[in-house]
Amino acid sequence: MRINKYIAQSGYCSRRKADELIEAGRVKVNGEVVTMLGYEIRVKDKVSVDNKPLRNLKLEYYRFYKPTGYITTCDDEKGRKTIYDIIPKELHHLKPVGRLDKDSSGLIILTNDGNLTYELTHPSIKVAKVYRVTVDAFLKVEDLEVLARGIELEKGKIAYCDCEILERTKDETLLEVTLYQGLNRQIRRMIEFLGHNVVHLKRIRHATIDIIGLKKGQIKPIKPKQIKELKAYLDKIKEKEVFDA
């Protein structure tokens, strides 16, 4: 196994961060500094970072239903409420995979698996995130086509999404929105570009993991079978991207 993958699977950090640690000379194998990114780890090798031995952590995976009013971080210097005010203390070592803004609710995956976090959040891997979004206007098909074609929210960055109309009244539209990007407040900003506002926004699925069976504020472990399906989904995406390239 390559050393960066070994470090990531220990739960210490992501594979990208592991590469930075290796290049900085902070990683040792059997007491010797290793700076080669492709270095292969053998079964009996002992790996340390900053002279602290890495132990194969028990990898943990949870899904959490974030209510509105909480930010997705472990600490906030402004004193705002965070998801860790709700999550049991014995799970505070887990990190969120991606973010939801304060006014949004829905699914957040929490884990100590740095490699999985990397693959679920890296922009080069187009992972689907699905949301239910209520907009304060009667949206037309033409509006959805604008969102699908893309909007330049930031210089050189085109934001796009797939949308399906679920319900409409003369004053509101309920959408199912699928994102393959992770720009800051992306859906809200795209709707504002159309001249409207988001009333409610809830993430219902991230890759193959969904919110079904969770109540607001509730956290539950993800079953091993679901993790296996999730990793198979990610492998399929990566294979497709290599083929398309």
Cβ neighbours for 29, distance < 8 A, ≥ 6 positions apart: 3, 39, 41, 45, 46, 47
- With 80 as the cut, is the pLDDT of residue 174 above it? yes
Read off the pLDDT of each residue in 175-196 and give the average, rounded to a whole number.
94
Question: Which class is domain 3-53?
Answer: alpha beta
Read off the pLDDT of each residue in 62-88 and give the average, rounded to a whole number.
90
- The pLDDT score that the predictor gives to residue 57 is 66
Whether the model pTM is above 0.85: no
Residues 10-60 have pLDDT tens digits of 778 888 889 999 999 999 999 999 999 889 888 788 899 999 988 766 889
CB atoms within 10 A of CB 129: 23
Residue 68's pLDDT band, with cuts at 50, 70 and 90, is very high
Read off the pLDDT of each residue in 92-101 and give the average, rounded to a whole number.
91
Q: Are strands 105-111 and 198-206 parallel, antiparallel or unpaired?
A: parallel
- The pLDDT score that the predictor gives to residue 241 is 64
Read off the pLDDT of each residue in 147-173 and give the average, rounded to a whole number.
93
The two domains 61-123+208-244 and 129-206 share their CATH topology (first three levels equal): yes
The candidate with the shortest Cα–Cα distance to 110, out of 201, 185, 15, 209, is 209
Domain ranges of the chain: 3-53, 61-123+208-244, 129-206
- The pLDDT score that the predictor gives to residue 111 is 93
* CATH of segment(s) 129-206: 3.30.70.1560
Read off the pLDDT of each residue in 77-86 and give the average, rounded to a whole number.
89
Architecture of domain 61-123+208-244: 2-Layer Sandwich (3.30)
- The pLDDT score that the predictor gives to residue 201 is 98
Active site residue 113: no
| Cα–Cα distance for residue pair 71/64, rounded to 1 Å | 13
Distances (CA, A) of 140 to 59, 109, 130, 193, 211: 45, 33, 20, 14, 28
- The pLDDT score that the predictor gives to residue 186 is 94
**230 strand-pairing partners:** none
Residues 125-142 have pLDDT tens digits of 899 999 999 999 999 999
Choose, from 19, 50, 76, 101, the residue flagged as catalytic: 101
- With 80 as the cut, is the pLDDT of residue 163 above it? yes
Q: What is the mean pLDDT of the chain?
A: 91
- With 60 as the cut, is the pLDDT of residue 243 above it? no
